[in-house]
Amino acid sequence: MKIKAIFLKPYAKYIWIILMLVAWEVTAKLAPVSPLAFPSLELILAALIDSVINGDILMQMAFSLGLILIGLGIGVVLAFLMSFLSVVSPVFASFTDTCVSIFHPLPGIALLPLIILWIGTGSMAILFVIVHSVLWPMILNMTAGFKAIPEVYKKIGMNYEFNTLQSIIRIFVPASLSFLIAGLKISWARGWRAAISAEMIFGASGGIGGIGWYIFNKRVFMDTAGVYAGILMIIAVGIFVEDVVFGKLEKNTIKKWGVA
């Protein structure tokens, strides 16, 4: 029973991670695997430290994160506009529905050959892929959130004689915040993946490139430990955003308000 109690704690994730690392090291050390395919933890760590000190990995990470922040920003604003217009106008709602059903299942990477022709290969193209992967899941969540707002809340807004802008800020957003945060989480994960995939295809289009480019570069020069180092960085950022950024956001809003 005691063991079970440990795994119910919030830090259970880290126990599993340690167990996985141990399993990794044992496999790398004892199993007959090529270090080119399965480097030991020391090699990976050494590659990571080397990239931090001598390389651009931190700058590249910041570059990727910056692109995603911009992409998320654009995506969220666009999604908000489209979702709100859909709530107000049934005609626009059918247009948004059509767009979502066309574009939501379309991976940004599948559009890459076209994007190269339309906007070239620079950061703008990567941004386009990010916005594409952020926008549609965000719209789905936002419209669902807006639709789920109880009628009585909107009536309260009318009672207070809110204008449209006021009712958006005071009624629509807080009442659907759990949907918005869920949408943001999905969009972040989608955007993060899209950005890294796009970087792995375009490379450092002028400048140092992002973390996807780092991994691609390590791959073509057969630095397997470096590839794993890049993947570790991506995992670390993913966990950080999930646990710290979104954790804080939820704690201070929907959990505090008791709407989650």
Partner 1 sequence: MKKYIIILWLMVLVLTAGCAKTETAGGQKTIRIAEQYGIAYAPVQIMKAQGLLEKNCPGIVISWEQMNNTAAIREAMVADRLDAGFMAIPPFLIGWDNGMDWKIATGLSSVPTGLVTKTSVNSLAELGEKDRIAVPQPGSVQHILLAMACDRDFGNPQKLDNQLVTLSHPDGMNALLSGGDVTAHFTATPYLEKELATPGFHQILSGNEAFGGEFSFIVGVTTKKLHDQNPEVYAAFNQSVGEAITFINDHPQEAAGILSEAYDLPEAEVLAYLTAADTEYSQTVKGIQTFSDFMLKTGYLKKSLENPGTIIWEQTDYED
Out of 3, 30, 31, 37, the only residue in the binding site for partner 1 (CB under 8 A) is 37
Q: Which residue's entry shows tokens 């996807």? A: 212
Are 149 and 171 spatial neighbours (Cβ–Cβ below 8 Å)? yes
Residue 8 as a binder of partner 1 (CB under 8 A): the answer is no
State the minimum distance, in angstroms, from the CB of residue 216 to partner 1: 7
Q: Which two tokens stand for residue 199?
A: 């970087």
Q: Give how many residues touch partner 1 by CB under 8 A.
A: 28
Q: Which among 40-48, 184-192, 212-220, 241-249 is the span making contact with partner 1, rule CB under 8 A?
A: 212-220
Which of the 8 DSSP states describes residue 194? H
For residue 158, the tally of other CB atoms under 10 A from its CB is 10
Packing angle between helix 57-88 and helix 41-54, nearest 10 degrees? 90
Three-class secondary structure of residue 184 per DSSP:
helix
From 13-21, 64-72, 111-119, 161-169, span contacting partner 1 (CB under 8 A): 111-119
Contact string 51-80 vs partner 1 (x = CB under 8 A): ------------------------------
Q: Please report, to the nearest 10 degrees, the dihedral formed by the alpha carbons of residues 183, 188, 189, 194 taken in order.
A: 120
Does 223 engage in binding with partner 1 (CB under 8 A)?
yes
Task: Identify which range of 16-24, 112-120, 137-145, 176-184 contacts partner 1 by CB under 8 A.
Answer: 112-120
Which residues, other chains included, contact 90 with Cβ-Cβ below 8 Å and sequence gap of 6+? Answer: none
Which residues contact partner 1 by CB under 8 A? 34-37, 112-113, 116-117, 119-122, 201-208, 216-217, 219-224
